[in-house]
């Protein structure tokens, strides 16, 4: 399912929760999900078998699948090279606690499931450490947030944007806090957006139904400083994923399926709508069937601050072997796969010093925040959000500086908050 236009939080949840998937297409595989909760010299593992995907929210056990009630699990401790070290337990139902781990020592586990006597899948290797993550700091909204709308704050947190729909107006409300000012951008039916790091430009896509497909979109850029709007109606009827402004602020970068309905590549267009071109022609993300394209949930790009690289992530409801995190060199067109499909990478963002990437992943069983070190390739989890906080692929991540990020997430009941996370 492509990224879709959201007018209200309730509509967003309805859209995500109504995307039912069944095993009729042949591409669904049973999966074992495991979540590790760390403590002082112990790790408690929670796990379950997902036997039918029912929604598009990756990593959310309360939403993401039908849990098999008759599954039994074996718990294995693994060596760092992926080989089995020891079998810790057999025939457990939903959790297992491992005691006696030295503080700060990494540990590796895998869970294998069966139903009756038949193997029913196994988890990826879960890396844990007994270190306890500090709780994120909740940042209250600087304005009273009306109920029922979906919000994005600018990186300087002095502006907030949300969609509005009336009998005569479809578009965005851009509310500046200091000095107080409100602008209305008549973009049409808006979808997810990105802010330029300067907090000046809002870029996004428009949702458009056609006789061919409801997924075709249009790009737009709104200049909040000059209250001017650019809509790109000359780029063809293709599916454009949420664009980002390049580091030079002279052109947009986006993912699109122009070559054919099932293949996505990296594209660029000047801000005036001219010189649309494909970058890194060999870089592609390709689906084989319409069922697989409906299996899509998140395509996302982020530009490096120096303008030399683009980072793209792909995550599917039901894993595709092409999912993962990619680095694309804009000068040469060469690309490297940094993380594979098992990471379920969403919403990658580049640090201001271009040393680290931050992203959302369900590798530990629930969507949380991870960091990739570009110099060493090391990957580590940097937060453990409380169970009542939900991250999805539609909420933004901002770098405050090289060591702190702010993420927008929702608590149970759909209430939105910003959370500041310090990266150790």
Give the CA diameter of the chain. Answer: 67
> In this structure, what DSSP letter does residue 123 have?
P
At residue 14, φ and ψ (nearest 5 deg) are: -60, -40
**Residues spanned by the domain of 378:** 137-422
Asked which of 128, 161, 188 is the last residue of a domain, the reply is 128
Residues 334 and 201 in one domain: yes
Residues 309 and 383 in one domain: yes
Per the document, the length of the chain is: 424
Tokens representing residue 35 in the block = 């979540």
Which CATH number is 56's domain given? 2.60.40.10
Residues 77 and 153 in one domain: no
Cβ burial of 144 (10 Å; 0-12, 13-18, 19+) is exposed
Whether the Cβ atoms of residue 123 and residue 82 lie closer than 8 Å to each other: no
Whether the Cβ atoms of residue 385 and residue 60 lie closer than 8 Å to each other: no
Residues 245 and 217 in one domain: yes
Residues 97 and 181 in one domain: no
Tokens representing residue 243 in the block = 């664009």
Residue 4 lies in a domain: no
Residues 191 and 120 in one domain: no
Query: In the prediction, which pLDDT does 250 show?
Result: 92
Contacts of 348 (CB under 8 A, 6+ apart): 300, 302, 311, 312, 313, 325, 357, 358, 359
| Exposure on the CB side of residue 336, measured as CA atoms within 13 A | 7
Residues 149 and 287 in one domain: yes
CB atoms within 10 A of CB 59: 24
> In this structure, what DSSP letter does residue 53 have?
E
Residue 356 lies in a domain: yes
Residues 143 and 258 in one domain: yes
Residue 331 lies in a domain: yes
Strand order in the sheet with 170-176: 152-153, 159-165, 170-176, 181-185
CB atoms within 10 A of CB 275: 9
Whether the Cβ atoms of residue 206 and residue 266 lie closer than 8 Å to each other: no
User: What is d(CA 140, CA 36) in angstroms, rounded to the nearest whole number?
Assistant: 29
Asked which of 70, 96, 128 is the last residue of a domain, the reply is 128
Tell me the DSSP string of 78-116.
E-TTS-EEEEEEEEE-SEEEEE-PPTT--EEEEEEEEET
Residue 1 lies in a domain: no
Query: In the prediction, which pLDDT does 104 show?
Result: 59
The residue with tokens 């008549």 is 186
Contacts of 166 (CB under 8 A, 6+ apart): none
Residues 68 and 158 in one domain: no
Q: How many domains does the chain have?
A: 2
Residues 258 and 170 in one domain: yes
Residue 12 lies in a domain: no
Strand partners, 286: 263
User: What is d(CA 118, CA 392) in angstroms, rounded to the nearest whole number?
Assistant: 33
Residue 6 lies in a domain: no
Whether the Cβ atoms of residue 235 and residue 221 lie closer than 8 Å to each other: no
Whether the Cβ atoms of residue 71 and residue 120 lie closer than 8 Å to each other: yes
Which CATH number is 323's domain given? 2.120.10.30
Tokens representing residue 254 in the block = 């986006």
Residues 291 and 197 in one domain: yes
Asked which of 110, 128, 146 is the last residue of a domain, the reply is 128
User: Tens place of pLDDT for every residue, the chain, 424 residues?
Assistant: 333 333 333 333 322 322 322 222 233 356 777 777 766 777 888 888 877 554 444 444 334 467 788 999 999 999 988 899 999 999 999 889 988 877 657 788 999 999 988 888 888 788 776 556 777 888 776 665 554 556 788 888 888 888 887 778 888 889 888 899 999 988 887 777 889 888 999 998 887 655 555 456 789 999 988 989 998 988 887 888 879 999 999 999 999 888 777 788 999 999 999 999 999 999 988 765 655 555 566 788 999 999 999 999 988 776 778 889 999 999 999 999 999 888 889 889 999 999 999 999 887 767 889 999 999 998 988 887 776 777 765 667 899 999 999 987 777 666 677 888 988 7
Residue 16 lies in a domain: no
Residues 50 and 193 in one domain: no
Residue 119 lies in a domain: yes
């Amino acid at each position: 399912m492509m990224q879709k236009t959201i007018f209200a939080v309730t509509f967003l949840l309805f859209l995500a929760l109504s995307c039912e998937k069944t095993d009729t297409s042949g591409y669904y595989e049973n999966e074992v999900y495991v979540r590790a909760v760390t403590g002082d010299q112990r790790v408690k593992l929670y796990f379950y078998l997902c036997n039918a995907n029912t929604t598009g929210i990756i990593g959310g056990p309360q939403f993401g699948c039908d849990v098999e009630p008759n599954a039994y699990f074996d718990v294995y401790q693994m060596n760092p090279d992926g080989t089995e070290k020891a079998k810790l337990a057999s025939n457990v139902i939903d959790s297992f606690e491992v005691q006696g781990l030295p503080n700060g020592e990494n540990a590796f586990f895998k869970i294998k499931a069966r139903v009756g006597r038949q193997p029913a899948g196994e988890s990826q290797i879960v890396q844990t450490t007994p270190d306890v993550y500090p709780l994120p700091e909740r940042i209250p909204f600087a304005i009273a947030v009306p109920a029922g709308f979906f919000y994005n704050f600018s990186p300087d947190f002095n502006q907030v944007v949300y969609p509005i729909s009336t009998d005569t107006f479809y578009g965005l409300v851009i509310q500046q806090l200091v000095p107080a000012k409100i602008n209305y951008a008549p973009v049409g039916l808006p979808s997810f957006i990105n802010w330029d790091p300067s907090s000046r430009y809002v870029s996004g896509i428009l949702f458009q139904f056609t006789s061919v497909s409801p997924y075709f979109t249009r790009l737009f850029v709104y200049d909040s400083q000059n209250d001017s709007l650019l809509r790109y109606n000359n780029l063809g009827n293709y599916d454009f994923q949420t664009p980002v402004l390049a580091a030079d602020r002279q052109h947009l970068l986006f993912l699109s399926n122009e070559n054919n309905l099932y293949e996505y590549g990296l594209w660029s267009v000047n801000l005036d709508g001219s010189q649309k071109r494909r970058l890194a022609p060999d870089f592609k993300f390709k689906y084989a069937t319409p069922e697989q394209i409906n299996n899509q949930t998140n395509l996302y790009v982020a530009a490096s601050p120096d303008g030399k690289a683009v980072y793209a992530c792909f995550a599917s409801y039901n894993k595709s072997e092409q999912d993962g995190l990619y680095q694309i060199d804009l000068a040469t067109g060469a690309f490297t796969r940094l993380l594979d499909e098992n990471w379920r990478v969403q919403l990658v963002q580049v640090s201001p010093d271009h040393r680290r990437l931050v992203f959302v992943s369900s590798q530990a069983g629930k969507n949380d925040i991870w960091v990739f070190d570009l110099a060493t390739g090391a990957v580590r989890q940097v937060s453990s959000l409380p169970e009542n906080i939900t991250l999805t692929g539609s909420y933004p991540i901002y770098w405050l500086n090289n060591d702190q990020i702010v993420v927008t997430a929702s608590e149970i009941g759909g209430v939105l908050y910003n959370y500041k996370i310090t990266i150790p």
